[in-house]
Structure 1
Amino acid sequence: MKKGIALILATASATALAVPAAAQDNSAFTGPRIEGIAGYDISKAGSDVDNELNDEDDESIDGFMYGVGIGYDFPVGDRVVLGLEAEGTFSTAETEVVDGDLEDLGFGAELDTGRDLYVGARAGVVAGENLLLYAKGGYTNARYNLLADDGTTELETDVDLDGWRVGAGAEYAMSENTFVKLEYRYSNYTEGEFDFNDDDFFDSDTGESDRFDADLDRHQVAVGFGLRF
C-alpha cells in the first residue's frame, strides 16, 4: 500500500511539473479557505493484524464520511502553492462483533466510527487553467466507539487512535471565491488508548488505559466544496 501511495504522489507531481509555467497562475488558490467535505470511508485491519480466528467478523467497516475543513494557502513563485489545513469529520461506518460461541453466552458488541481530526500541510502546482494538483500529509486522531454487553453488565468505551495521513488531490477554482476538489487520502493509526466512561474502571484519575500499539488502515475518497476569502 505504501508503494501505491508513493506512486500516486509521484505521478501527480510529475504531471504538474510537465505543464508550461508561462500558461499558469496561482492567484486563484491562495488565501484562507473553508470547505464542506463528503465521501466514502473504509477502515480495515493493517498488514500486521491477523483476523483468521473468526471468519464471521467484518474485516473492514465502511460508510459515508462528512465534515468541514479550514486552511490557508500562500504562493511560492508563480505556480507553486503551500498551505496549512485542519479538518474534522464523522463517519457512518459501523459493525457488530459476531461470534456464535460468545452470543450463546449472552455476549454482544457493537463498534461504530466516531470523530476524526486532522492537521497537516499540502503542496500544490498549478497544472492547467484554474486547476491545482497537490499532495498532502499530517497528523490524524480517530475515535471509535465500542459498546459491549455480557447479558448483565454493559461496558461503553472510546478507542482513541493516533496516526499519520498522506493523500493527493485536484482542486478546481470555479470563481475567485469558490472551488471544488476531489481527493484520496490514506491514514495509518499506530498507537491508541481506551477512554472508559466509567473513571473507576482503571486505577487512575482519568479513566484512560495505558497506550498500546495499533495497526489500522483507513482509506477515504472525498469531494469538497469551499469558499475563499
Structure 2
Amino acid sequence: MKTIVSAAALAVATLSSPALAQDTGFEGARVELLSGYDIVEGDEGLVYGVAAGYDIAVGQGVIGIETELNDSSVREIYTDALVAGDELRIGAGRDIYIGGRIGFAVAPNTLLYAKAGYTNAAIDVRYDDGTTVDKARPKGDGYRVGAGLEQKINALFGAGGYGRLEYRYSNYGNVSYAGNSVGANIDRHQIVVGLGVRF
C-alpha cells in the first residue's frame, strides 16, 4: 500500500512541476468551424460542422478533450428500387463526436496531434413510391481515430486564431433502427480543415 501511495504522490508532484506546466500557446478553451471531404462506404460528399474543445499544457505538448457536431452532403439515390417509378434516397446525416487528443508542439506555432473517441451518426432514409413517402433515421455507434496539424494564425482572430488540417477514420459497428440492427462496420474517411479561435 505504501508503494502505491508513494507512486501516486510522485505522479502528482511530477504533473504539477513547472517543467510540465509550460505555456505552449495551445492550451485553453477553443471553438472552430469545420469543412472538408467526406467518404462514406465509397460515396463522396462534403462534411461541415462545428467543434469545441479544451487543452491542457503538458511539457511541450497538450492533452485535451473535444466534441463535434457535423452534417454531410453524402447522398445516394436509387430509382425503381422496389417498384417501377419509386425513389429511395439514403444519405449521411448528423454526426456527433466526443473524444480526446494528445499533441506535441513541433514548432512555436505548430502542433502535431492524434485523437480518438466515440462517434454516433444518423443515416437519413427517404422512400417515395409515388403515393406515400416514408422516412427513417437509423443511428450508428462507433469509434473515430485521427491525426492532424494545428497552426497558429494570429492574423485570423488575433492572438488566439488557428487553423488545422486533419484526417480521421470512423467505423460504425452497430447501426440500428427501432431496436433492430440494420447494418454493421460502416467505414468513413474524412479530410477536414478547421478555422477557430482559442480563448
Using the size of structure 2 for normalisation, the TM-score is 0.81
Q: Is the CA contact (8 Å cut-off) linking 2:79 and 2:86 kept in structure 1?
A: no
C-alpha contact (below 8 Å) 2:24/2:61 kept by paired residues: no
Distance 1:138 1:26 in 2: 26
Alignment partner of 1:35 is 2:32: yes
Mapped pair 1:185 → 2:198: no
Which residue matches 1:48?
A: none
In structure 2, give the amino acid aligned to 1:127: V
* Displacement after TM superposition at 1:114 (Å): 1.1
TM-superposition CA deviations, 1:87-137 (whole Å, max 9, x none)? 00111111112557x453x43201122111100000001111310000000
2:75 to 75, 85, 94: 94
1:18 matched residue in structure 2: none
- Given candidates 143, 146, 155, the residue that maps to 1:164 is 143
Q: Which has the higher strand share?
A: 2
Name the counterpart of 2:100: 121
Unaligned regions of 5+ residues in structure 1, if any? 1-24, 45-59, 195-207
Structure 1 segments of 4+ aligned residues over 3 angstroms from their partners? 150-153
* Identical aligned residues as a percent: 43
Greater length-normalized contact order (CA 8 Å, ≥ 6 residues apart) = 1
Distance in 2 (alpha carbons) for counterparts of 1:153 and 1:228: 49
TM-score, structure 1 as length reference: 0.71
Is the contact made by 1:38 and 1:65 (CA closer than 8 Å) also made in structure 2?
Answer: yes
Which 5+ residue runs of structure 2 have no aligned equivalent? 1-21
Are the counterparts in 2 of residues 26 and 126 from structure 1 also a CA contact under 8 Å? no
Q: Given that residues 26 and 81 in structure 1 are in contact (C-alpha distance below 8 angstroms), is that contact kept between their aligned partners in structure 2?
A: no
Count of aligned pairs: 174
**Is it true that 1:149 corresponds to 2:134 in the alignment?**
no
Contact 2:111 2:151 in 1 (8 A): yes
